[in-house]
Chains A and B, each alone.
Chain A
Amino acid sequence: MAGRSPALAWTLAAVVVAAGVIPILIPSMATLVVLILAKGIVVLGIIILLQAGQVSFGHAMFFAAGAYTAGFWGKYLGVGDLVAYLVVGTVVATILGLLVGLFVVRYREIFFGMLNLAFSMVLWSLLEKMFHLTNGADGMRVPRPTVFGMVFSPENFQYVLLYLTLAIAIAATFAVQRFLESPTGNMLRAIKSNETRLEYLGVSARRILLIGYVVSAALGGIGGVLVAVAQQIATPEFAYWTKSGEFVFIAILGGVGNAMGAFAGSAVFELVRFYASAQLANSWQLILGVVLIAIILFAPDGLIGLWKRQRAARDES
C-alpha cells in the first residue's frame, strides 16, 4: 500500500476540485459526475475484497439492495429524505452482506466468485419476477427526495446531490485507505499471501474476510442509493452479472493498489461510455473492451499505477 505522499494529496485535491467545478461550468455533467463518484464508492468495496485476493462476480447485489431501498421507500412510504435513504440503504446492504457473507467467506477464489454470482442472480431473478412488488424488469421509480427535510428544485437538487456524493466519496476514500492500512487491512492481505500463517497466529481468516465483505457490501449499498436517486430509477439490471463485472472491470482499470484507483477507473469507464454512446455509433463496449485488455496486458497496476510509473520516470530524468 502506497503511503499518503504529498503528491497524492495534491492529486486528490485536484480531482475533488475538478469534480466540484466542472459540473458548474457544464450543467449536464452534474449527473454524470454523480454516477462516476457513486460507482467509485462501490468499486472501493471491490478493492477491499481484492486485497484478500477474492473477486466477487456478484457484488451488484448490494448495489441493487441500496437502489431498491430507495425504490421501495418511494413506492410504499412516499417521497423520503435522501439522508434516510442513505442510512437505511446502507443498513439493508450491510445486513444482506452479513447474511450472504456468513456463507461465502468459507470459500476462496473461484468458489467464492461462483457463490457470489449465484446469490446475485437469485436476487436478480426475484427482482425481475416479483412483478407486483418490484414492477419487474421496468424497475421502480425513485422520486426526487428531500435533503435534510428541505425540498429542492430539480436544478438545485442535482448540485446538492453532487456535493453530497462528493463529500461521501471523499469520506469513503479516507475511511477505506485507513481500513486497508489498519491491522485488519493487513490481515486481509495476508489471506491472499498466506492464509495458513494467519491461522497459526490465531486469527480467524473467515472473520477477517467477513469484516471486509460486510464493509464492501455497505459501500455497495451507498453507491446503489446514490445511483438510483441520480437516475430516479432502480431496475433489476442493477443486480445482473454484467453489472458486477463492470465493477470488477473498473477496479482493475483504475488499479487495485490504491483507493483513488476506484474513481480514476470509474471516470474513464463512464466517460467512454457516455461519449461513445453519443458520438461513436454505439461502440462503447468495443472501446472499453480494448482499453481493458490493454490495461491488463501492459499496465497491470491500472491507471493509477500507470500514472505513478510515469511520475517515477520523470523524477529520475
Chain B
Amino acid sequence: MKRTGKTLKLLAGVSLLLGVLGAPATAQDKPKELKIGITTFLSGPAAVFGEPGKAAAEMIAADINKKGGIGGVPVALSFVDEGAGGEALVSNYRRLVQDEKVDATFASISSGSCNQLVPLAEDLKMLNFMWDCGAASILEAKKYRYSFRSQANATPEMLAVLIYLLKTKPNFKTIAVVNQDYAWGRESWEIFSTALKQMKPDVQVVAELFPKFGAPDYSTEVSRLMALRPDVVFTTSWGGDLDTLVRQAGQRGLLQQSTFVLAIGESSVQRLGKDLPEGLIIGARGDHWFMHPEKKSDAAFKAFNEAFKAKTGRWPIYPVYHMAQAFAALQGAYDKAIKANGGKWPTREQVVDAAPNLEFVGFGRPVKLRAEDNQGLEAQLVGVSKKADGFDHMVLDNMMIFDAAKITAPAGQKSVEWLKTLKPDFAKMDVPVFQHGK
C-alpha cells in the first residue's frame, strides 16, 4: 500500500490549493439587493406548512421592499424544496450559498433538514435563521455561531400544553398518546410525558401508539382507545395525519369519550371545519392565532391577516407567523449591525455578531434570541375549541398565553434533564386567560 501515501499527498495538495483559491472575498459596499435563501416544503405532506410559509415570505418581502428594504437595500428571495429529499436539499443549499451568493438563509421546517443544514451553514459561514424546526436537541448538543432559532423549541411548546391541561382538567387519571412515528412524535411525547410524571405522578399512561408517518387508517388505534377509555388522548400529529385521526375518531365517538389534546392543532383548525368538535385543547407552537387576544387592536396584524386571507383563501397559521419572525430577526440583526458600524453596510460577520440578545417582534409577543445558545424565547398560546358566529370552523376560547422565560429550559441545560427537576407546583404558575372576542 505504498501508493496510498502518494495519492494522499496529491489529494491533500490539490485540496489545499483549492482552499486558497476559494477564500471568500469581503464586500462592504451596499449591495444592490439582499438575497435570502429559504428552505421550505413545497412537496410532500409537510407542504401544508411549507406553502403558507412561502406565501407569507413573498408577502412580507414585498412589504419590506415597499418600505425601502432592509437598511435601504431591497430583499430578494430564492426558495428550495425540502420535500425533494436530502440529496437535492444539500446540493441546492450549497448552490444558494456558493453560486447565488445569498446573504442569509432561513432553514428549515423539518428538524431533519435543520440537522443537515445547520452544520452545513456553520461550514459555509452562512447566517441562518432556523425558522420553523422544533427539535430542542439541535442547539442543546452544540453551540453554533451562524445559526439562530427565531422561534421556540418543542420543550416550551409541550410544556405550555401540559400546564394548560393540568389547569383545566386537574382530575384526569389516565392518558394515551397517538403520535406520528418519527423524531417529532417521539421527542414531543418524551418531553410531555417526562414533565407529566413530575407534575402529576399518579397519572397512568394506558397506551403509547406510534402509527407510521402518513398512515391512512387509524381504525385499530381508535378501537383500542375506545376499549381502553383513557381520560385524555394526547397527540402532536399534524397535517393530513391529524385530519385523518380527528375525523376517524370523531366518526366513531372517541372525541366525545376522551378529552383530546391536539398539541399543534392550530394549523388544522380551518381545514377540519365542522368535523372538529368543541372542547378539544389546541396548541399552536408559539403565541400564534389569527385572533391573538393581545394583538387584536394592532392594525398591522389585522391588515396582514386580511391580506393573507385574500391571497391564499385561508387565515394565517403558525408557520406564517414563524416566517414573519425570521424576517423580523433578520431585519433586526441588520439594523443593529448597521448602527454598530456607524451607519455603513456591515459584513456578514458583523451581522452575525449583532444577532445574539436581539429582540424582535413578528405578529405576537416580542421574541428574544438567547446569546448562550442562539435559542429564541417565544411565548406560547393554548386554547380550547369553541363554536363562534361568523366562522365555518372552530375558534380558540379560554386562551392562556405563557411567558417564554418561565417555560423554556435554561441555557446550557438539556431539556429532558431540566424537565426532571420540575415539581407539581410548577403547573400552578399565573397565566393570563383570554376569552374569544373579549
A binding-site residues for B, Cβ under 8 Å = 24, 26-28, 31-32, 35, 128-129, 131, 135-139, 141, 147-148, 150, 152-157, 159-160, 163-164, 167, 227, 230-233, 235, 237, 270, 273-274, 277-278, 282, 284
- Which of A31, A150, A153, A230 counts the most B-chain CB atoms under 10 A from its CB? A31
Instruction: Determine the residue in chain B with the shortest Cβ distance to A153.
Output: B19
Interface residue B406 (Cβ < 8 Å from any Cβ of A): no
Measured CA separation A27–B95 after assembly (Å) = 9
Q: How far is the CA of A227 from the CA of B111 in the complex (A)?
A: 20
B111 — which chain A residues lie within 8 A by C-beta?
Answer: 138
A27→B15 contact, CB < 8 A: no
Query: In the assembled complex, which residues on chain B have CB atoms less than 8 Å from the CB atom of A227?
Result: 87
Tell me whether B112 and A148 are in contact (CB under 8 A).
no
What residues of A have a CB within 8 angstroms of the CB of B85 in the complex? 237
Question: How many residues belonging to B are interface residues under a CB distance threshold of 8 Å?
Answer: 44
The answer on a CB contact under 8 Å between A282 and B81 is: yes
Q: Is B14 an interface residue (CB 8 A)?
A: yes
Contact of B115 among A141, A152, A273 (CB under 8 A): A141
The closest CB in chain A to the CB of B93 belongs to: A28
Q: What's the nearest-Cβ distance from chain B to residue A150, in Å?
A: 7
User: Could you list some 18 contacts between A and B, CB below 8 A?
Assistant: A26-B99, A27-B94, A28-B98, A136-B186, A137-B182, A137-B183, A138-B112, A141-B115, A154-B124, A163-B14, A167-B7, A231-B86, A231-B87, A233-B86, A233-B115, A278-B92, A282-B42, A284-B84
Inter-chain pairs besides A137-B182, A235-B112, A270-B87, 8 sampled, C-beta below 8 Å: A28-B98, A137-B181, A141-B116, A156-B15, A160-B15, A163-B14, A282-B84, A284-B84
Asked whether any CB of chain A lies closer than 8 Å to the CB of B404, the reply is: no
Contact (Cβ within 8 A) A277 B123: no
A35 to B98, CA, bound (A): 18
Q: State in angstroms the CA–CA spacing of A87 and B16 once bound together.
A: 26
Q: How distant is B217 from chain A, measured CB to nearest CB, in Å?
A: 17
- A167 contact set on B, CB distance < 8 A: 7
Nearest opposing residue in chain A for B84, CB measure = A277
Chain B residues whose CB sits within 8 angstroms of the CB of A128 once the complex forms: 181, 212
The 3 A-B residue pairs with the shortest CB-CB distance, nearest first, are A154-B123, A156-B15, A137-B182
Q: How far is the CA of A197 from the CA of B294 in the complex (A)?
A: 84
Decide if B120 touches A232 in the complex (CB within 8 Å). Answer: yes
Seen from chain B, the residues whose Cβ lies within 8 Å of a Cβ on chain A are 4, 7-8, 11-12, 14-16, 18-19, 22, 42-43, 80-81, 83-88, 90-92, 94-95, 97-99, 111-112, 115-116, 119-120, 123-124, 181-183, 186, 210, 212-213
Nearest Cβ distance between residue A131 and chain B, in whole angstroms?
Answer: 6
Contact A31 B18 (CB under 8 A): no
Known: A160-B15, A233-B116, A278-B95. A137 touches B213 (CB 8 A): yes
Please measure, in the bound complex, the distance between the C-alpha atom of A231 and the C-alpha atom of B181, giving whole angstroms: 23
Point out the residues of chain B lying under 8 angstroms from A157, CB to CB. 15
Interface pair A277/B112, CB less than 8 Å apart? no
Shortest distance from the beta carbon of B147 to any chain A beta carbon, whole Å: 15
With A153-B19, A155-B18, A274-B92 in contact, do A27 and B81 touch (Cβ < 8 Å)? Answer: no
Contact A35 B43 (CB under 8 A): no
The answer on a CB contact under 8 Å between A135 and B87 is no
- Bound together, the chains give a CA A136 to CA B91 distance in angstroms of 23
CB-CB under 8 A from B213, the residues of chain A are: 137
* Bound-state Cα–Cα, A23 to B183, Å: 35
Tell me the minimal C-beta distance from B433 to chain A in angstroms: 36
| Assembly CA distance A28 to B92 (angstroms) | 8
**Beta-carbon nearest neighbor of B19 in chain A:** A156
A213 to B157, alpha carbons, bound, how many Å?
A: 50
A230 contact set on B, CB distance < 8 A: 90
How far, in angstroms, from A233 to B81 measured CA to CA in the complex? 18
Q: In the complex, A35→B86 CA distance in Å?
A: 11
